[in-house]
Amino acid sequence: MKRITDKISEATFWASIHAAGAFILVAYVLVPLLELAS
């Protein structure tokens, strides 16, 4: 049972890492575009 919860917590950890990376990437692209548009 413990191994299953370990796998789930590990998957959640990596999902949050990738979500944060995607958010940073989007912000990195969008901010200059918004600066140009204004």
- The stretch 2-9 carries a mean pLDDT of 92
* pLDDT digit string, tens, across residues 16-32: 999 999 999 999 999 99
Got the DSSP string for the chain? Answer: -HHHHHHHHHHHHHHHHHHHHHHHHHHHHHHHHHHHH-
Mean pLDDT of the chain: 93
1 has a pLDDT exceeding 80: no
